[in-house]
Structure 1
Amino acid sequence: MTALGFLYPGHSAEDDYPRIEQLLGSDIRLDVIHTDIGEDAHRVDALLRMGSVERLAAGTEALRLTGAEAVVWACTSGSFVYGWEGAHDQVRSLALAAGMPASSTSFAFVHAVRELDVRRVAVGATYPSDVADLFAQFLRAGGAEVLSVRGSGIITAAEVGTWGEEEVLTLAREADHTDAEAVLLPDTALHTASHLPALEKELGKPVLTANQVTVWEALRLTDRRVNAPVLGSLFTREPIVQA
């Protein structure tokens, strides 16, 4: 049994994790520990507070009790908002506090893009445009060429969590770029685990979504490989990229 830990802010789309656990169909357990979201706002100052070392450290004791072998901060905006170097510092602090390998959803996207061996990507974000642009800057720092960025202007994770398949498909379609080799949908508040086959069929290319890449990143940290095509192209490739 491989136990994977996730620090998830608040309550929006955390039910993606038991769904992904079921779809993996293997001896893998996904344990979600909720952190204090503070102010639910896709605004830079609120996101910086949400991803603070103190808030993340507060969840590590409960995480250790689960027997987790690795932990991922399951929040895209609460990691890339710190910038490339700041996000590295955040992960190092989390690893130290948790006493295990650690990463974040932002780095999961960077590693997943490399895993798919693509460079040119399009971004469809639920965030306001200024926050979406920060994600694009983070991806560029990680070596990706971001061809287009679409922000949806949604302020709260609570609203994002109400979106269904049609809204997710619309976001992906509108975000896609003719020359993009993959489409990225950040925001772990967005339900996507059940929509991955439909997304990739609709766009005809790999689609990376926040909760999907977060789980993949935790598997990468523990050197696990699971073939699960129902979770998209990312879960059908070899080998796992190294950090």
Structure 2
Amino acid sequence: MTALGFLYPGHSAEDDYPRMEQMLGSDVRLQVVHTDIGEDAHRVDALLEMGSEARLTAGVEELRLSGAEAVVWACTSASFVFGWEGAHDQVRKLATAAGLPASSTSFAFAHAVREVGAVRVAVAATYPDDVAGLFASFLKDSGAEVVSARGSGIVTAAEVGTWGRDEVLALARAGDHPDAQALLLPDTALHTAAYVAELEAELGKPVLTANQVSVWEALRLARRRVNAPELGHLFTKEPLVQVEV
């Protein structure tokens, strides 16, 4: 049994995790611990507080007691908002507090983009445009070329969590770009686990979503590979590269 831990802010799309646990179809357990979200706002000051050391470390003991072998801060915006170096510092502090290998959803995206062999990517975000732009900057710092980045102007995770299949497909279609080799949907508040395979079939390219890449990243930290076609191209191929945080 491989136990993986996720620090997840608030309550929006956490039910993606038991769904993905079933899709993995193997001896993998996904343990979700909720952190205090503070103010629910896709706004820089609120996101910096949401991703603060105190809020993250508050859930670490519960994960440690669960037997988790690795921990991922399952939030994209409250990691990339710190910038490339600041997000590294956030993960280092989390790893020290947990005594476990650690990462975040932002780094999961950076690693997953390389894993699927993409250089040029498009971003279809739920966030306001300024926050979507910060994610694009983070990806550029990771070495990816962002050919387009589209925001949707949604301020709260609570609203994003109400979106279903039709909204997710519309977001992906609107945010895709013909030059992009992969499409990224960067919000762990967005339900996507049930739709990844459908999105890839329609768009004809790898689609990377926040909760999907968070689970892949935790498996990578635990040195596990699981073939799970329902979770898309990322979960059906041999690794291209060995990547480290």
TM-score (norm 2): 0.98
Match of 1:40 in 2: 40
Cα drift, residue 202 of structure 1? 1.2
Match of 2:224, SS state, is coil
* Structure 2: runs of 5 or more not aligned: none
Q: Percent identity?
A: 77
Q: How does 1:8-87 map to 2 (within 5 A)?
A: 8-87=8-87
Please state if 1:182 is matched with 2:205. Answer: no
Q: Is this contact kept in 2: 1:8–1:73, CA < 8 A? A: yes
Match of 2:142 in 1: 142
Match of 1:220 in 2: 220
Give per-residue Cα distances to partners, 1:56-88, cap 9 Å, x unaligned. Answer: 010001111100000000000000000000000
Alpha-carbon separation, structure 1, partners of 2:242 and 2:196: 21
Match of 1:156 in 2: 156
Give the AA of the match of 1:169.
L
Alpha-carbon separation, structure 2, partners of 1:40 and 1:26: 35
Give per-residue Cα distances to partners, 1:134-168, cap 9 Å, x unaligned. Answer: 00000000000000010000000000000001100
Give per-residue Cα distances to partners, 1:159-212, cap 9 Å, x unaligned. Answer: 000000110000000101111000000000000000011110111110000000
Q: Is this contact kept in 2: 1:111–1:241, CA < 8 A? A: no
Cα drift, residue 105 of structure 1? 0.0
Give the AA of the match of 1:112.
A
Alpha-carbon separation, structure 2, partners of 1:159 and 1:198: 23
Give the AA of the match of 1:241.
Q
Give the AA of the match of 2:211.
N
Match of 2:162, SS state, is coil
Match of 1:34, SS state, is strand
Q: How does 1:93-112 map to 2 (within 5 A)?
A: 93-112=93-112
Alpha-carbon separation, structure 2, partners of 1:35 and 1:152: 25
Match of 1:123, SS state, is strand
Please state if 1:200 is matched with 2:188. Answer: no
Give per-residue Cα distances to partners, 1:26-78, cap 9 Å, x unaligned. Answer: 00000000000000000000000000001001000111110000000000000
Alpha-carbon separation, structure 1, partners of 2:124 and 2:80: 15
Cα drift, residue 242 of structure 1? 2.3
Q: What do you get for the CA RMSD once the two structures are aligned?
A: 0.6
Cα drift, residue 241 of structure 1? 3.1
Alpha-carbon separation, structure 2, partners of 1:170 and 1:203: 12
Give per-residue Cα distances to partners, 1:111-149, cap 9 Å, x unaligned. Answer: 000001110000000000000000000000000000001
Cα drift, residue 2 of structure 1? 0.3
Match of 2:124, SS state, is strand
Match of 1:138, SS state, is helix
Give the AA of the match of 1:174.
A
Match of 1:234 in 2: 234
Match of 2:113, SS state, is helix
Match of 2:115 in 1: 115
Larger mean CA deviation between 233-242 and 33-42 belongs to 233-242
Runs of 4+ in structure 1 deviating by more than 3 angstroms, as ranges, are none
Q: Is this contact kept in 2: 1:165–1:195, CA < 8 A? A: yes
* Structure 1: runs of 5 or more not aligned: none
Alpha-carbon separation, structure 2, partners of 1:81 and 1:241: 25
Give the AA of the match of 2:102.
A
